[in-house]
Every structure is written in structure tokens, then in C-alpha cells.
Amino acid sequence: MERFMEDALQQARAANDLKEVPVGCVFVYDRKDSSGEIIARGCNLVNESKNATRHVEFICIDQTLEYARQYGIEPPESIFSAVTVVVTVEPCIMCAAALINLGVREIIYGCRNDRFGGSTVVDVGALLNSSIPIRGNVRGEEAMELLKEFYKGENPSAPVPKARGNQGGCKT
């Protein structure tokens, strides 16, 4: 599955060009008659859509359900047991929970997500009693470099910090 990480990295680069947090993802469908086919791909669209749930994993979930409907896979959600998720950054807690609840075959990620990671910060798999394999550090340095480059600049869609007045705390 490591060969699919390049596709995910290309999506992360596209996100960076869109001024989105550079996270890219592909969903690889492993049918019995093939060696793996990308059926969903994308990048974060949180800033563009002004919707905090438009993480790339959710975009790929939507595309996968559409693929299942288009090819008559019933029920559509049954497709996820044959899907490997390849994502450049460890899925956040929200995305990890969604992927695990859908029963994906495996999750492969590039770099860790030390702030919001669904394995690193909270072991979502253990909380949900899941045995879905989650493997990281696949081209993780490249994924981390994209994040570092993004955060050197400014995020035009980030909220403006609010000035804090004296709220009865320490005086400076």
C-alpha cells in the first residue's frame, strides 16, 4: 500500500496550493479480482467550504459511498471492509472514529498528529474495541515537511485571535 502514499502526497500538495492544511488521502478498494484500485481521493476542504467536518477522510467516505451506489454494491457501506485508507497525516479523533465505525480494512498514514491524533492522543481503536490495523510513518518525513511549510505561512481562514482584557487574573 505504500505505493499509494505518493497519490495521497499529491493530494496534500493540492491542498497546500488551495491554502488548506496539506492533508491528502486515497481510499484503495481491494476487490478479489484486482490488486487495488483508488476509488476516492481528495484533500482537506475545511477552509474553502467553511465547514469543519470537511476533512479529507469524510470527503473520501462520501466518494466511496457514491462509488458503491454507482456499481450496485448493497448495502453501500459494506464496501468499507475492502478499503484501505492511505492518508498523509494520522487521522484526527473524529476521522479515526468514523473510519473505525465504518470498518475499513486498514489505515496507513504518513506522519503523526500530536495534537489531535486518533491513535497518538486518544487510542480510538482501543476505545471502540477495534482490531483494524493502523500503521504510521509511511513517508512521514515528506508529510511533515508539507505541514511545516504550510504553518510557516499564515492560514487566511484561521479565526482572528480575540484580545483578552483583564478578567480578574494576574496583573502584568
Active-site residue list: 57
Distance of alpha carbon 130 from the chain centroid: 18
DSSP secondary structure, 47-87, as one string: HHHT-TT--HHHHHHHHHHHHHHHTT-SSGGGGGGGEEEEE
Strand locations in the chain, DSSP E? 24-29, 37-43, 83-89, 106-111, 134-135
Instruction: Give CA angle at 6 (154, 120), nearest 5°.
Output: 65
The Cα 85–Cα 103 span in angstroms is 11
Between CA 84 and CA 132 the distance in angstroms is: 10
User: How far apart, in whole angstroms, are the C-alpha atoms of residue 116 and residue 73?
Assistant: 33
